[in-house]
Amino acid sequence: MLALDAPLAIVDLETTGTHAASDRITEIGVIEVDGFRVVSEWSTLVNPGTPVPAGIQALTGISAEMVAAAPRFGELAHELHERLAGRVFVAHNARFDYGFLRREFARAGIRFQARTVCTVKLSRRLYPAERAHDLDSLIARHGIACRARHRALGDADALWQFLAIAASEHGGEVLATAARQVARLPTLPPHLERAAIDEVPEACGVYLLFDENSLLYVGKSRNMRGRILQHFASPSAWTMRVRRIEWRRTAGELGALLAEARLVKELAPAHNRRLRRPGEMHGFVFDGTRLRLARCGELDADAAACLIGPWRSRAAAKNALYALADEHRLCLQALGFESRCFRRQIGRCAGVCAGAEGIHAHHARLAAALAPLKAADWPHRGALGVIETDREREATEVHVVDRWRYLGTASSEADVAELLEDGRRACFDYDHYRILARHLARAGVRVVPLSA
C-alpha cells in the first residue's frame, strides 16, 4: 500500500467549509513522489463559485479577490486527474480531501477512484503513545518546518516530511504494514466486480444487494458507497454471495428512509430483520364507544387517526390491553374481549358489567388510560408535501403525506396530483408514521400544504 517505491500523491485541499455536498474547493496542493523521492510539486487556487466565509479567509489567508481570478475546478479537472492517476492518495484526514475531490470530479463528469492512506490513522498506528494526531500536533512533535500552514502545498509538504520521518524511525516495511492496516480494504465477494462498487455514488439513497437468483438485502445510507463497503469489511456468508447491486439516489435522508421501508415490505429481502410487513403490526382503534383490535395494514386514514399502539404481534397487543385493564380496573367483558367478567370477583373490574358503574364513566376511564398510547394526531388541515433538495444535483423531491400515510414521492405537480388521487386507497403503515413523525418534529423542515 505505501511501499517506499510506490508512486504517491500527497494531497491537501483548502475549502469554503466542511461539507463536500455544499462547500467547494479553494486551493489544491499535490506533491508527487516516486521511489520515495519528490518528483513534482503542483498547486493552484480554485474559484469555488460561491462566497468564501470570512472565518475561512482569516484562517487560510485566501481572500475572495484571490479566488475570483482563479480557474474553476472543471477547467483544471483533466490535468489534476492525470497527476493523480495510478498513485496512492495520501492526505491528512483522507476521507475529507478524497470526498471533496470525488464530488468535484463527478460534477466535471470524471470518475475518480484511488487507493487512499490517511496520515491521521497512520500516525495513530505508528505512535500509539501520543494523544494528539492532528497536523499541528505532528508538526510540533516531529519538528517539521511547515512553509505555509493552512495553505494547500505547505500542508502537503508537512505530510511528506512526516512520512520521511516515520520511514526513518520505523523502517519502510513497518511503514508499509501500518498503511495496509489503517486502509482496511474490504474483501469483495468473488463474483462482484469492483466496477459495480465504483458506480455507486457517495450520496444519499437506497441500495439493493442481489445474489444470482434473489434479493438479499435492502439498505439506505447518506453515503451509499461507503455503507456497501462496510458490509464487505466484516464479511459473512450472505454478503459473500452478492453478485449485483442496484441503487437509487434520493434528494435527502427522509426519502431514503421511506424508500427503504417501502421496498423491504414489498420485496421481502432475505436478510432484512428490522422492518416488518404491515400485517404483522397490531393496534387498537377506539372511537369513543367501541374498542377493536386490528392489523395496522388494514386501517384506512380515518381509523388510523384513532390508532392505539401498535405492537409487533396480536398477542403482544392483547397482553398490553390486559395489563392496562388490571391497572385501571377496566371490564374486558364490556370491551368485548371476554364473554364473562371474572375480574370483578378479584377486584380488578370496577363493575360496569354488574351495573356498579355506568358505561360512559367506564369508557371515559378507558379513553384516559389509552391516551398515552395513542399515535400522534395529524396536525395539518389536509395533505402535506415534505420537501427535500439535493443541492449538488439541484434536484428536489416532494414526499406526499396525508394523515401520516406516505403516498409517494413526486418531482412535478402532475406527480403530486396523481399521488393524491391514488392515495385515497392507501393504508396506514406504522414504520412510515414513525419516520415521518420524527422528521416533521425537527426544526427547519420545509413543507407545503397540498389539496386533492
Q: Cell 482569516 belongs to which residue?
A: 58
* 8-183 placed in CATH 3.40.190.10: no
**310 cis-preceded (ω within 30 degrees of 0):** yes
Domain ranges in the chain are 8-183, 194-267, 280-373, 384-449
| Beta-carbon-side half-sphere exposure of residue 435 (alpha carbons within 13 Å) | 21
Q: By the 8 A CB rule, do 19 and 39 touch?
A: no
Residue 12 has a pLDDT of: 97
Which parts of 2-148 fold into alpha helices (H)?
A: 54-60, 64-68, 73-84, 94-107, 119-126, 135-142
> Do 8-183 and 194-267 share a fold?
no
Phi, psi of 24 (to 5 degrees): -135, 165
Give the global pTM: 0.62
Q: Cell 521511489 belongs to which residue?
A: 35
Rounded CA separation 74/71 (Å)? 8
Tell me which amino acid residue 284 is: F
Which residues face 405 on adjacent strands? 402
Residues of the chain with pLDDT under 50: none
Q: Tell me the helices (H) and strands (E) count for the chain, helix number first.
A: 16, 15
CATH dotted code for 194-267 = 3.40.1440.10
Burial status of residue 33 (CB atoms within 10 A of its CB: 0-12, 13-18, 19 or more): buried
Q: Cell 519528490 belongs to which residue?
A: 38
3-state class (DSSP) for residue 57: helix
Rounded CA separation 246/259 (Å)? 13
